[in-house]
Structure 1
Amino acid sequence: MASTVELASAFIEGAPPGEMSSPALTSEGDDIIPSLLPAFKRYNETQLTTVKLPGSSQEVIVSEFNALEDNRYFDPESQTSFELDHTTQTASGAQSYHLESSNADLIKSLLKSFGAHAREHYPNCSYGVYPIENDSAVAILLVANRYSPNNFWNGRFRAFYQVPVSSPSTLTGKIQVDVHYYEDGNVALNTTKPLSINIPSVSAESIVSKIAAAERDYQEALNRAFVQTAEGAFKGLRRQLPITRQKVEWEKVGGYRLGQDISGGKGR
Structure 2
Amino acid sequence: MDATERIQAASQFLLQSPPGEINDVLNDIRNIISDDELLQEGIQPALREYNIEQFTVVDVPETNHLSIISEAARLGPVSEEDDAQERFLDPRSKLSFEFDHLSLEASDPQPYEPNEEHEPFRLALETAALNYLKAHFTDGVIVVLSPKEGSTQYVIQVVANKYNPTNFWSGRWRSEYTVDLESKQVAGKMLINVHYYEQGNVQLATTNVISFDLPPHVLSAIPNNTAASKILALIEEEERKYQVSLNETYQEMGEKTFKGLRRALPLTRQKLDWDKVLGYKLGAELAGTNKSTLPTS
TM over 0.5: yes
Inter-CA distance 110–247: structure 2 relative to 1 (3 Å threshold): farther
Residues in 2 aligned to 1:10 and 1:102: alpha-carbon distance in whole angstroms: 42
In structure 1, distance between residues paired with 2:140 and 2:213: 26
Q: C-alpha deviations, 1:113-143, integer Å up to 9, x for none? A: 0110111101100011113452311111111
Q: Which amino acid aligns with 2:126?
A: L
Relative to structure 1, the CA distance from residue 56 to residue 101 in structure 2 (aligned partners, 3 Å threshold; closer, same or farther) is closer
After the TM superposition, which residues 42-121 of structure 1 pair with which residues of structure 2 at under 5 Å, given as runs? 42-54=49-61, 57-69=64-76, 70-100=85-115, 102-121=117-136
Q: CA deviation at 1:239?
A: 7.0
Alpha-carbon separation, structure 1, partners of 2:133 and 2:42: 37
Matched, 1:123 2:125: no
Letter in 2 for 1:229: M
| Post-superposition CA distance 1:81-133 (Å, at most 9, x none) | 22211012122222333323531111110000011011110110001111345
The corresponding residue for 2:249 is: 225
Q: Quick check: 2:118–2:147 contact (8 Å CA) kept in 1?
A: no
Q: TM-score, normalization: structure 1?
A: 0.86
Alignment RMSD, CA only? 2.5
Question: Where do 5+ consecutive residues of structure 2 fail to align?
Answer: 77-84, 289-297
Compared CA separation, residues 56 and 108, structure 1 to 2 (3 A): closer
> Using a 3 Å threshold, how does the CA distance of structure 1 residues 213 and 264 change in structure 2: closer, same or farther?
farther
The offset of 1:30, in angstroms, is 2.5
Q: CA distance change for structure 1 residues 137 and 261 in 2, over 3 Å: closer, same or farther? A: same
What is aligned with 1:254?
Answer: none
Structure 2 length-normalised TM: 0.78
Q: Is the 8 A contact 1:101 1:135 kept in 2?
A: no
User: How many residues were matched structurally?
Assistant: 257
Q: CA deviation at 1:262?
A: 7.0
Q: Distance in 2 between matches of 1:234 and 1:89?
A: 41
Distance 1:240 1:209, change over 3 A: same
Q: Which moved more, 1:173-182 or 1:55-64?
A: 55-64
Q: Which residue is 1:205 aligned to?
A: 229
Aligned equivalents of 1:53 and 1:152: distance in 2?
A: 30
Change (3 A) 1:132 1:261: farther
Displacement of 1:149 in angstroms is: 0.7
Relative distance call for 1:52 and 1:265 in structure 2 (3 A) is: farther
2:63–2:93 contact (8 Å) kept in structure 1: no
Q: Distance in 2 between matches of 1:212 and 1:14?
A: 29
SS in 1 for 2:58: strand
**Percent identity for Structure 1 against Structure 2:** 33
Greater Cα shift, 132-141 or 94-103: 94-103
1:262 and 1:132 map into 2 onto residues whose CA distance is 74
Distance in 1, matches of 2:67 and 2:54, equals 13
CA deviation profile, 1:187-235 (whole Å, cap 9, x unmatched)? 1111100101111225312321210110111111111112111222234
Which one has the bigger helix percentage?
2
Taking the TM superposition and a 5 Å limit, the aligned residue runs for 1:145-184 are 145-166=161-182, 169-184=184-199
Question: What's the counterpart of residue 10 of structure 1?
Answer: 12
Query: What stretches of structure 1 move > 6 A for 4+ residues in a row?
Result: 239-242, 259-262
For residues 76 and 244 of structure 1, what CA distance do their matches in structure 2 show? 65
Q: Which structure is larger by alpha-carbon Rg, 1 or 2?
A: 2
Matched residue type, 1:182? Y
Structure 1 runs not aligned, ≥5 long? 249-258
